[in-house]
């Protein structure tokens, strides 16, 4: 997983509430057994018209947002299905971070496991950032994860909170399974106690 430190890029506003993972990655793109080729599925029904042409009204089809590395999103982004394909697709499209007021729980964890930074701000702050990046001239922003800081095009900065565990995982890009496997002895001891206390589970 690619480490996230200091990333500069265009942010695209998508401020509707409850954008669900069916919309982010429609069902016809869920038929693989690997992670490849999902960039063409992201927001498919919004990005493309029924005849297959790009929808000129959709923000990610317009310059400069077609090169977006960040999305500024409405509340409860990523709700619905657990499909991690939604995050794989966003990542393949080049999205490195999302800024919003709230994210759905499973989507949140899926992002963490794929190096995608989720930044939670107040709805008012999200509205302000969304407004700023809606202008072509001020769409470029910078996110500094180690410093926990967003810099807008006009020089204004916003701090954000993130717990150390998630921050370290994103900054280092390390494999979580490897870390947990180091605790194998503790897992085994727990298992022994657990099954002794609840033998019908073993």
Partner 1 sequence: MFEDAKEPRTLYDKHIDSHTIRELDEHGHVLLYIDRQVANEYTSPQAFSGLREAGRKVRRPSATLGVVDHVNPTSPSRTAAVADAGGARQVSYFGQNCAEFGIELFDILDGRQGIEHVVAPEQGFILPGMVIAAGDSHTTTYGALGAFGFGIGTSEIEHLLATQTLVYKKLKAMRVVVDGALAPAVTSKDVIMALIGRIGASGASGYAIEFCGSAIDAMSVEARMTICNMAVEAGARGAFMAPDDKVYAYLADKPRAPKGEMWTRALAQWRELYSDPGAHFDRVVTLDAAELGPMVTWGTSPDQVVSIDGSVPDPQKEPDLLKRGDMQRALRYMALEPGTRLDTIPITHAFIGSCTNSRIEDLRSAARVLRGRAVAGHVRAMIVPGSTLVKRQAEEEGLAQQFIDAGFEWRQSGCSMCLAMNDDVLAPGDRCASSTNRNFEGRQGAGARTHLMSPAMVAAAAIAGRLADVREEDRADLED
Q: Which residues bind partner 1 (CB under 8 A)?
A: 15-18, 20, 22-23, 26-27, 30-35, 45, 50, 74-76, 79-84, 87, 102, 104-106, 109-110, 113-114, 163-165, 175-177, 180-181, 183-184, 186-187, 190-191, 194, 197-201
Q: Which is nearer to partner 1, 53 or 198 (CB)?
A: 198
Lookup: tokens for 108: 């949140």
CB atoms within 10 A of CB 99: 26
Q: Which residues pair with 71 in a beta bridge?
A: 12, 98
Q: Which is nearer to partner 1, 34 or 154 (CB)?
A: 34
CB of 157 to partner 1, least distance (A): 25
Query: What's the count of helices (H) and strands (E) in the chain, helices before strands?
Result: 8, 7
Q: Which residues contact 151 (CB under 8 A, 6 or more apart)?
A: 141, 142, 143, 144, 157
Q: Which is nearer to partner 1, 3 or 6 (CB)?
A: 3
Q: Which is nearer to partner 1, 63 or 197 (CB)?
A: 197
């Amino acid at each position: 997983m690619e480490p996230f430190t200091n990333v500069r890029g265009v942010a695209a506003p998508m401020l509707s509430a409850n954008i669900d993972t069916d919309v982010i990655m429609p069902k016809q793109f869920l038929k693989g057994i690997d992670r490849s080729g999902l960039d063409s599925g992201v927001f498919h029904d919004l990005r493309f018209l029924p005849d297959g042409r790009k929808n000129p009204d959709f923000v990610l089809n317009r310059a400069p947002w077609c090169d977006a590395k960040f999305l500024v999103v409405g509340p409860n982004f990523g709700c619905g299905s657990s499909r991690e394909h939604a995050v794989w697709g966003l990542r393949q499209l080049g999205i490195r971070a999302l800024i919003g007021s709230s994210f759905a729980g499973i989507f949140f964890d899926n992002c963490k496991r794929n190096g995608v930074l989720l930044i939670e701000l107040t709805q008012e702050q999200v509205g302000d950032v969304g407004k700023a990046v809606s202008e072509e001239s001020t769409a470029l922003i910078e996110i500094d994860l180690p410093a926990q800081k967003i810099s807008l095009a006009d020089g204004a900065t916003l701090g954000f909170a993130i717990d150390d565990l998630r921050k370290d995982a994103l900054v280092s890009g390390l494999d979580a399974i490897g870390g947990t496997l180091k605790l194998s002895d503790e897992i085994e001891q727990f298992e022994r106690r657990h099954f002794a206390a609840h033998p019908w589970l073993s």
